[in-house]
Structure 1
Amino acid sequence: MILVEETTLADAALPVAELRAHLRLGSGFDLAESSDEDRALAGFLRAAMATIEGRTGKVLLSRQYRMVLDDWRDSAAQALPMAPVSEVQGIEISVADGISRAIASQHWYLVADITRPFIRPRGAALPSVPEGANVVIRFTAGFADNWAGVPPDLAQAVLMLAARYYEDRSDDSARRALPMGVSALIERWRAVRVLAGRRAR
């Protein structure tokens, strides 16, 4: 499986002001506001979000993804690796010479489960994939388009972890383990990320 994030969050979408306030409350002093400082804070936020999303399999702010498979993992239900999924833009079969064939939406539907979303067939099985071809699935995943829509415990976990990265920025070993408070906040969101069904390829 290949998973590609096709959209990149702009710095303006990140909770830089919230992180600045969090750091001020934790340290007792104001950070100098500057474009360089904002870019640095955005970088710590991106790192914290990537860690939280990697540990939970949940996408915080909506982005578009492309997943490529050499075949369905299970022709009765194809799991998607990230959640929550709000939309599947399309599914196609791509062959070696670059020709693609779209699979019409009347042949499949999205089960938008917050833990483990699936694509299921509107029949006995998903369409067969020829030898040497790939399945390409494009979908949108994420809790919200803006930070206000992110679940509060996950949002707080990101701020706490980004603050930790900021405070320990000269110590690379600080990124190897999650602080206990962050682990506690994300625990209920963690799930076994199952991509396969009966046939793992």
Structure 2
Amino acid sequence: MILIEEYQTPQSSLPIEHFKAHLHLGSGFSEDAVQDQVLEGYLRAAISAIEGRTGQALYARDFEWSVGAWESPDSQQFPLSPVRTITEFKIVKANGDETSFDVGQFQIVTDSMSPVLRSLSGSLPTIPEGGKAVVRMYAGSASQWSDVPPDLAQAVLLMAAHYYEYRSDLSLSRGCTPFGVTALIERYRTIRISMRGTA
């Protein structure tokens, strides 16, 4: 399974000013556009980390999802949530030949944590040996920072601050999650474990 983010959230939508306030940066620093780029990098890394740990897409955007085999003939759990719409569905053979399907033939079984893809006519289209299904979708909970769920928004700021404060610590290359972040995202991780068997 491969999930590709088709475009980045624009800088204008990122909570850079919130992040500056969270870090208690001085006014001279906060007005430095060069530093905005630095802070943007930490925010993007933190958003990616929180999305990866929770399966929640924070900002609404387009994704391409490739699947080599269905979990079951009639359903497949999406790799993230919330999924708003399916914009394209096709089967790609090993030789590259493609067959497109009307997206109206499929439905999203809504669930805040684990939405499922189903076909309205029964089984999902067969994926040939060596081939794949490619599904493009629009997914995410927010179009702007103020719409991001408060617990996940706070987790992003804490994670970004952690990356910023320990930016010179090479030991962090092995990865870590501050306790405050773990507590904030625990309810999302618990449900993912119960539904999928892995965190």
**Residue 30 of structure 1: how far off its partner (Å):** 4.1
Counterpart residue number, 1:128: 126
Q: Distance in 2 between matches of 1:75 and 1:53?
A: 28
Structure 2: which amino acid aligns with 1:116?
A: S
**Residue 106 of structure 1: how far off its partner (Å):** 4.2
Gaps of 5+ in 1: 196-201
The answer on 1:178 being equivalent to 2:177 is yes
Counterpart residue number, 1:8: 8
Structure 1: which amino acid aligns with 2:17?
A: A
| Correspondence list, 1:62-73, <5 A | 62-73=60-71
Q: Distance in 2 between matches of 1:174 and 1:69?
A: 32
SS across alignment from 2:62? strand
Task: Kindly report the root-mean-square deviation, in angstroms, between the aligned alpha carbons of the 2 structures.
Answer: 1.9
Counterpart residue number, 1:199: none
Counterpart residue number, 1:141: 139
The answer on 1:83 being equivalent to 2:84 is no
Any runs of at least 4 consecutive aligned residues in structure 1 with deviations exceeding 4 A, and if so which? none
Q: Distance in 1 between matches of 2:66 and 2:137?
A: 12
| 2:82 and 2:141 in contact (8 A); partners too | yes
**Residue 130 of structure 1: how far off its partner (Å):** 3.0
Q: Return the match for 2:164 from 160, 163, 166.
A: 166
Compute the TM-score of the two structures, normalised by the length of structure 1.
0.87
Gaps of 5+ in 2: none
**Residue 181 of structure 1: how far off its partner (Å):** 1.0
| 1:65 and 1:140 in contact (8 A); partners too | yes
Compute the TM-score of the two structures, normalised by the length of structure 2.
0.88
Q: Distance in 1 between matches of 2:196 and 2:147?
A: 26
* Count of aligned residue pairs for this structure pair: 192
**Residue 11 of structure 1: how far off its partner (Å):** 1.5
Q: Return the match for 1:41 from 30, 39, 49.
A: 39
Counterpart residue number, 2:154: 156
Counterpart residue number, 2:196: 194
**Residue 194 of structure 1: how far off its partner (Å):** 3.3
| 1:81 and 1:194 in contact (8 A); partners too | no
